[in-house]
Structure 1
């Protein structure tokens, strides 16, 4: 009986979902599917989804998540540029993070968490500053790695997704929370797809 009531509530919440949230979810799905396929078109799709989601997050008082989306926008433009750059300075091929890149990634996550927590508790009325800041800082780290086409981006993005799912349910952003569950699952496949492609590339190099 309890499940039936919850299911009915969920159905009503989905029916009440705004057109803007549907757009955000649709382009978010397209973006992650394109990322799994290692397709540069993930960036224009992602940019549209980011812009739609940002309005929703401000309304829900998820300010760190909004800042995260601003960062997503910048990194999407940056990633789009270097994915298409076939020079030595670009990121035209999948690779693993170097030791120095791993240190930078951890620094982005830890320093970002502290910075966002301070900003949220000092300047906003956020009621979930610790969790909101953590979701955003780990996603910052993941997006930096994605822009550089590093395999480990999937791990960091899924750490963020795992914590974001209950947070979004808590904020009644039902459709976006289901999108995040979908992103979590796709990111698992994305990791293995990228690792397979990376291993195949290394195999070809060894036979040359």
Structure 2
């Protein structure tokens, strides 16, 4: 366990907890977390994770903007549900992204686990986009992705990061419950 992994993990817990609470400070704290994890994953040769966390950095900025600008007369963006069409398109894009990124990583890098890493990356990007848009479905997808990340990082011996993703799974369950209540309250 490195100090880099420890600090990134602590920032991650804070950021996800704030996200569950719909606190827009989750975004700048999350920016710190994803920046540190990009560095950590580069050292681990998990290049899809480096790419993921680099894109997450841009999405952190977008999420902060989207959550704080709000619509006229509203305080921030409300929780909404994605339509079945939006879900289908999102999943199709994530599958395609998994195939393209996995192929690129397998062909052009010495990535440790190109296909698994690419798949988790693509579906994480979809979950993060839905989170920035405050789509309720983000939490269900995060639960699935986080459980898979626990196994992925455990297999590699990154126990602190695996533990972080186990905690993220629990926070995602809380997020799903709290955002569902928030959505009902705004109807």
Same fold (TM over 0.5): yes
Separation in 1 of the partners of 2:129 and 2:107?
26
Separation in 1 of the partners of 2:41 and 2:166?
17
Separation in 1 of the partners of 2:25 and 2:97?
28
Unpaired runs of 5+ residues, structure 2, are none
Q: Summarize the Cα distance change of 1:160–1:91 in structure 2 as closer, same or farther, 3 Å threshold.
A: farther
Choose 1 or 2 for highest CA Rg: 1
State the 1:91 CA deviation.
6.3
Equivalence for 2:177: 192
State the 1:51 CA deviation.
0.8
State the 1:155 CA deviation.
1.3
Equivalence for 1:130: 115
Aligned Cα root-mean-square deviation (Å): 1.6
Structure 1 residues 108-153: Cα deviation after superposition (integer angstroms, max 9, x where no partner): 3111111111111111112322211111111011001001011001
Match for residue 115 of structure 1 among 76, 97, 100: 100
Equivalence for 2:24: 40
Structure 1 position 28 matched with structure 2 position 34: no
TM-score normalized by structure 2?
0.93
Separation in 1 of the partners of 2:51 and 2:143?
19
Aligned residues between the structures: 185
Q: In 2, are the aligned partners of 1:134 and 1:160 still within 8 Å (CA)?
A: no
Separation in 2 of the partners of 1:46 and 1:120?
26
Match for residue 87 of structure 1 among 40, 48, 71: 71
Structure 1 position 61 matched with structure 2 position 54: no
TM-score normalized by structure 1?
0.84
Give the 4+ runs in structure 1 shifted more than 4 A: none
Separation in 1 of the partners of 2:49 and 2:112?
13
Q: Summarize the Cα distance change of 1:163–1:118 in structure 2 as closer, same or farther, 3 Å threshold.
A: same
Equivalence for 2:2: 18
Equivalence for 1:152: 137
Structure 1 position 70 matched with structure 2 position 72: no
Q: In 1, are the aligned partners of 2:67 and 2:76 still within 8 Å (CA)?
A: yes
Unpaired runs of 5+ residues, structure 1, are 1-16, 203-208
Q: In 2, are the aligned partners of 1:21 and 1:56 still within 8 Å (CA)?
A: yes
